[in-house]
Amino acid sequence: MLSDDTPCSPMKKLKILGEKTQNVKPSLESSNLQSIKENISNNREKEAPESEDTIEHLLEDAPGKYVIFPINHDDMWKMYKHLVDNFWSVTEKIQDLDKLALNYEEKQFMKFFTSIFASPKSSGLVNENFAEEFCKIIQVTEAKFFYGHQLFVQNIHSEMYNKLLLHFMEEQEREKNFKIVENFDAVINKRNWIEKWKTASFGEQLVASSCLHGLMFCSLDLVHNWLAIKTRSILSHELIDIFERMILDQEIQRNFSCLMISHLRHKPSKENMIEMINQAAKLEFDFLMNGIKCDLIGIEANEIIQLIDKKTKELKVMMFSWFYEKNNAITDANENKKPVNEERENNVSKENHHKLVFDEDF
């Protein structure tokens, strides 16, 4: 046999190479080759562009997203204008708080209440929540306007909580109180729930945002009602008016999140949405009982349950509105809302506060 170094004709070389090739063992089994082919095929399918049906309309890049007129989404624009119309700001008149003549326990309650929402770890509750991300990823002009203004409103709320905190506590006591409230289990659980949904799907984030603004600020309603009853002898107090503005801001933000859900092509399942609402309701009950210590101002568990039940049903009406009248329930809720000052007269009585007729069958 010829060695590798022995010269030979081109034809013989081809014959030798052919014989060597026949003796080479295949490096891959046929089953492995089939598996590779399937993987390549699957990867190509994944890399294929998404169809229009799988992309959320709200997230699609729009060439004219920086052009305002003509308005393309009248329902969103109306709600944006409604939020703007409720504009208010923090003034120096709040130093007037001494007129409330709060006793020791009532002052302790206000310290807990303001410390929780003014705490450095309150991000996710008052600000830096879902609105910031929505403002970045949503491409619809009218929605961008709403969320941009919502961020501005949330900064005003944050300023308000901090202003109240300055009135009730000196700096040293504030730092001490921050450490106390930040370690309440009820406060931690609430923050963790919000943080958990920040990494969820877009639809689930909208549902979580609805729960945040629709259920997780029930403390505003409780404080407002308590102050309204306490100050009957006073014709008006600016703090009551401010709380009314804050409550209305939260309601508009809740309604807008529900409106955005109604625009989704792929909504989370109804069962998942109800489960998220129920989770938020339980967390808020625990927060009101064990976080801000409502018992210090004489508010009992039964009253808290009634308020959360009412807010939960309101939220479900808004969130599932597309099942019967598309967006009408949401836009009507905003357009028919009474002016804040007019509504205050009816809010002194707890029985008359935000009455709602609803269908319990969801």
Candidates 80, 147, 161, 324; catalytic one: 161
Candidates 142, 122, 78, 99; CA nearest to 328 is 78
Radius of gyration in angstroms for the set of CA atoms belonging to the chain, rounded to a whole number: 30
Q: 23 lies in a domain?
A: no
Range of the domain at 204: 103-333
Average pLDDT, the chain: 81
Q: Are 304 and 285 in contact (CB under 8 A)?
A: yes
User: Token pair 């919000």 is at which residue?
Assistant: 194
Q: 144 lies in a domain?
A: yes
Total H helices, total E strands in the chain: 16, 0
CATH number, domain with residue 208: 1.10.620.20
Residue 223, classed as helix, strand or coil, is: helix
Q: Are 150 and 159 in contact (CB under 8 A)?
A: no
pLDDT at 340: 53
Q: How confident is the model at residue 361 (pLDDT cuts 50, 70, 90)?
A: very low
Q: Are 208 and 130 in contact (CB under 8 A)?
A: yes
Q: Are 215 and 247 in contact (CB under 8 A)?
A: no
Q: 328 lies in a domain?
A: yes
For the chain, the domain total comes to: 1
pLDDT at 237: 73
Q: 94 lies in a domain?
A: no
Q: 11 lies in a domain?
A: no
| Neighbouring C-alpha atoms within 13 Å toward the C-beta of 143 | 26
- Please confirm, yes or no, whether 66 is among the known catalytic residues: no
Q: 142 lies in a domain?
A: yes
Q: 97 lies in a domain?
A: no
Q: Are 360 and 274 in contact (CB under 8 A)?
A: no
Mind listing the pLDDT tens digit for each residue in 256-312?
999 999 999 999 999 999 999 999 999 999 999 999 999 999 999 999 999 999 999
Task: Retrieve residue 150's tokens.
Answer: 């919502």
Q: 37 lies in a domain?
A: no
Task: Provide φ and ψ at 138, rounded to 5°.
Answer: -75, 135
